[in-house]
Amino acid sequence: MSTLSHRHRSARGGPPPRRLPAPAPLLVQAVVGAGALGVLALWWTGTASVVGPAGWLTGAGRITGLLAGYACAVLVALMARVPLLDHALGTDRLARWHAGAGRYTVSLVLTHVLLIVWGYAVTSRSGVLHEATTLVFDYPDMLKATAGCVLLLGTGLVSARAARRRMSYETWHYLHFATYLALFLAFGHQLANGADFVGRRPAQLGWYALYGTVAALLVWYRFAVPVRRALRHRLRVVEVRREAPGVVSVHLTGERLAELGARPGQFFRWRFLAPGLWWTANPYSLSAPPLPGRLRITVKAAGGHSAALARLRPGTRVWAEGPYGAFTEARRRAPKVLLLAGGVGITPLRTLFETLPGEVTLVYRARRPEDLALRAELDAIAAARGAAVHYCVDEPAAHAVPLTARALRQLVPDLAAHEVYLCGPPGMTDAARRALRGAGVPHHHIHHESFAF
């Protein structure tokens, strides 16, 4: 890792006020946990006794079925793009929770199916295969529920990391719409066949309220709000400018853009109404602080969609969903900040480098010197605010060193006293996390913007 550094002595602004850790994650987890306890209470109050192996099997099947149904609602709510959740928790955390809840949900669904079929087979003293066939074809809404189960399991399989790496973001994104269809198909069998709902009107109304609320949030924030904002703000491309090999900046203008409330470090999901691009919305961070009537993103060609942005023509209409993310100044608690970027991960950090008050240091890693995008802007910001910026490249190989705690401490001697904003490709960020922890940076002082989907 060869290094080119620029240091300036004065720092702009004073240290930020210290903030207490945000309670939002714990509060949301408590609400979700309370809901799960409520679901268990539904089974408890509706079960007089559990007798024999069949009773234990069907009882366990009912519990896992209730929890699976509740988990499906939570799963969708996490990705409904509700601004309150997104800004309080951050898109990265929501995505991790969604992935964990997805694995949990798939496990519950499989366990529910196996236990119910087994329990019913023991009760009727028939074979498991015969009982499964009877359940699917003779019970109300069970054929639709079976189709929904297959769709849900299929979505879970394509979400596995090994499968996800082999498909484009656009394909993965649209396959996830099958989740909504799966929940629609499976919903009816819960009320028609579930012993915890049959004849219990309050329980039925509660279940309708849960799913109805989640559906309303989904429709409003995923569909209605983007359409309304597209019509109101009338975003369009002004210019496409080359920044580095395979990297371009897209400059956009529109009406009443201040109403979006975008902050440095946030991103939008952009839908460009051009041939081959209009059908998908991809996430790209702002690469400059938002200005009245102007926004900018900087994108590296890493797939069909991102590569096509270099060919956008001025005047192309754009729909933008957002702003999203909590990768902002609001996360900062320490008086000193290190911004650690890898590749095109410089985009949100460039906005923070310009706008964060106090003492800020930027370390920007790339493969070659010519891959350092926005370098002239970064130098100008460093000079204007009296900050340090270090450019680290891996080539020529004779000067390359790994991303380690020792190397980072050489660049930032008091590294452990810094709050760190980290953004880059997965391999780089994994190595950086290990190096930062090895250098004594507390884990809650490391804020990460993921490139993975």
Cis-peptide, bond into residue 413, ω within 30° of zero: no
User: How distant is the alpha carbon of residue 166 from its chain centre?
Assistant: 19
Report the phi/psi class of residue 246: left, alpha or beta, with left for phi > 0 and alpha for psi in -120 to 50: left
What pLDDT shows up at residue 154? 84
> Is a pLDDT exceeding 90 seen at residue 423?
yes
> Is a pLDDT exceeding 70 seen at residue 370?
yes
> Is a pLDDT exceeding 90 seen at residue 11?
no
Contacts of 76 (CB under 8 A, 6+ apart): 179, 180, 183, 214, 218
Contact 364, 390 (CB under 8 A): yes
What pLDDT shows up at residue 165? 65
Q: Please tell me the distance from the alpha carbon of residue 10 to that of residue 8, in angstroms, as a whole number.
A: 6
Measured at the alpha carbon of residue 438, what is the angle toward residues 437 and 440, in degrees to the nearest 5? 65
Q: Report residue 394 as tokens.
A: 């891996």
Distance from the first to the final alpha carbon of the chain: 28
20 vs 311 pLDDT, higher one: 311
- Residue 365 backbone phi and psi in degrees, to 5: -105, 140
What pLDDT shows up at residue 20? 37
Cis-peptide, bond into residue 323, ω within 30° of zero: yes
Listed residue (291, 329, 229) closest to 19, CA to CA: 329
Task: Count CB atoms within 10 A of the CB of residue 140.
Answer: 12
Q: How confident is the model at residue 211 (pLDDT cuts 50, 70, 90)?
A: very high
What pLDDT shows up at residue 199? 87
> Is a pLDDT exceeding 70 seen at residue 173?
no
What is the 3-class SS of the chain, one letter each residue?
A: CEEEEECCCCCCCCCCCCCCCCCHHHHHHHHHHHHHHHHHHHHHHCCCCCCHHHHHHHHHHHHHHHHHHHHHHHHHHHCCCCHHHHHHHCHHHHHHHHHHHHHHHHHHHHHHHHHHHHHHHHHHCCCHHHHHHHHHHHCCCHHHHHHHHHHHHHHHHHHCHHHHCCCCHHHHHHHCHHHHHHHHHHHHHHHHHCCCCCCCHHHHHHHHHHHHHHHHHHHHHHHHHHHHHHHHHCEEEEEEEEEECCEEEEEEECCCHHHHCCCCCCEEEEEECCCCCCCCCEEEEECCCCECCEEEEEEECCCHHHHHHHHCCCCCEEEEEEEECCCCHHHCCCCEEEEEEEHHHHHHHHHHHHHCCCEEEEEEEECCHHHCCCHHHHHHHHHHHCCEEEEEECCCHHHCCCCCHHHHHHHCCCHHHEEEEEECCHHHHHHHHHHHHHCCCCHHHEEEECCCC
State pLDDT tens for residues 216-274. Answer: 999 999 889 988 988 999 999 999 999 999 999 999 999 999 999 999 999 999 999 99
What pLDDT shows up at residue 162? 59
CA atoms within 13 A on the CB side of 101: 23
Contact 309, 240 (CB under 8 A): yes
Q: Please tell me the distance from the alpha carbon of residue 321 to that of residue 248, in angstroms, as a whole number.
A: 21
Task: Count CB atoms within 10 A of the CB of residue 87.
Answer: 19
Q: Please tell me the distance from the alpha carbon of residue 279 to that of residue 256, in angstroms, as a whole number.
A: 25
Contacts of 126 (CB under 8 A, 6+ apart): 134
- Residue 184 backbone phi and psi in degrees, to 5: -65, -45
Contact 87, 326 (CB under 8 A): yes
Measured at the alpha carbon of residue 335, what is the angle toward residues 334 and 338, in degrees to the nearest 5? 80
What pLDDT shows up at residue 16? 41
> Is a pLDDT exceeding 80 seen at residue 79?
yes
170 vs 37 pLDDT, higher one: 37
User: How distant is the alpha carbon of residue 144 from its chain centre?
Assistant: 30
State pLDDT tens for residues 310-351. Answer: 899 999 999 999 899 888 998 888 889 999 999 889 999 999
